[in-house]
Amino acid sequence: MNNNTENNAVPLRTRLKQLRAAQNPVDCNRGALLIRGRLFTWLATNCTKLKEAGKPVPVNIAAFWSMQEEPQLQPLLRQWVEEEGYRVSLPVVTKTNAPLDFRLWDPEAEMQEGAYGILEPIGAVAPPPDIILVPTLGYTRQGDRVGYGKGYYDRTLAALKEQNHPYVSIGIAWATGDMSGLPHTPAPHDVKLDSILTDKGWAVPAPVLA
């Protein structure tokens, strides 16, 4: 990212965090429930269609451990593992300025605090993900994403593309992160997401698994 783009992104992130923080906690709880419900329904519906067509079903989901101010995904992740049999992994920061690693998550296993104070699993290295849920602070209706400025997900998604590994990326955001009308110029290294889901619905249409 060049200096001008980064300098513009700093006040943008500050504004997006202010909008996020101003939300009513009751609305946040309800919104997170809606996000989990839509995600569950989307995956279940797509998997049913794939099974009916005799096609392989995606089982490897790279999620993230929601921070307090983010939509809470943990109940859905537990349901996916314990009731649906999916393999859920979470990101692990092993090096700065490098792609993320993903390790399998066991709901009953101990976790450790990572480099940025986010809990990380201690489990085995996960298979490459079929679906990646990406924490998203700000977004456009074209799939552009603003994260927290460290670039880990851009590097991770770019690395998977370089390996020719097929995946579907879904940004998870609050609707307050809609950057329509806000100044934003994507950096050359930014990777667009396939879809974005918010508490108000799909801001970028739900992807179809093929």
Provide the CB-side half-sphere exposure for 145 (13 A, CA).
31
Asked if 119 contacts 113 with a C-beta cutoff of 8 angstroms, the reply is yes
pLDDT value at residue 183? 74
Residue 128 lies in a domain: yes
209 within a domain of the structure (yes/no): no
Q: Which of 42, 12, 27 is nearest to 148 (CA)?
A: 12
3-state secondary structure of 156: helix
* Cα Rg, the chain, nearest whole Å: 17
Phi, psi dihedral angles at 89 (to 5 degrees): -120, 160
Nearest 5°: the CA angle 59, 171, 207 is: 60
Tell whether 61 is covered by a domain.
Answer: yes
Instruction: Give pLDDT, residue 5.
Output: 47
Q: 103 in a domain, yes or no?
A: yes
Whether 188 maps to a domain, the answer reads yes
Name which of 137, 9, 129 is nearest 61 in CA terms. 129
Report the number of distinct structural domains present in the chain: 1
**Domain extent for 167:** 3-204
The token pair at 132 is 């990646």
Q: Does any domain span residue 73?
A: yes
Judge whether 26 lies within some domain.
Answer: yes
Q: What is the pLDDT of residues 56-82, one digit of tens each?
A: 999 999 999 999 999 999 999 999 999
pTM: 0.93
* pLDDT tens, residue by residue, 25-65: 999 999 999 999 999 999 999 999 999 999 999 999 999 99
What is the distance of C-alpha 91 from the center of its chain? 10
- Could you tell me the CA-to-CA distances from 137 to 30, 110, 171 in Å, in that order? 18, 28, 9
Q: What is the DSSP string of 90-123?
A: EEE--STTSPPEEEE--TTS-EEE-TTS-EEE-S
Q: State the pLDDT at residue 6.
A: 52
Distance CA(182)–CA(64), nearest Å, equals 27
Please report whether residue 33 resides in a domain.
Answer: yes
Q: What is the CATH number of the domain that holds 42?
A: 3.40.50.10420
Beta-ladder partners of 195: 170
Question: Residue 200 gets which letter from DSSP?
Answer: T
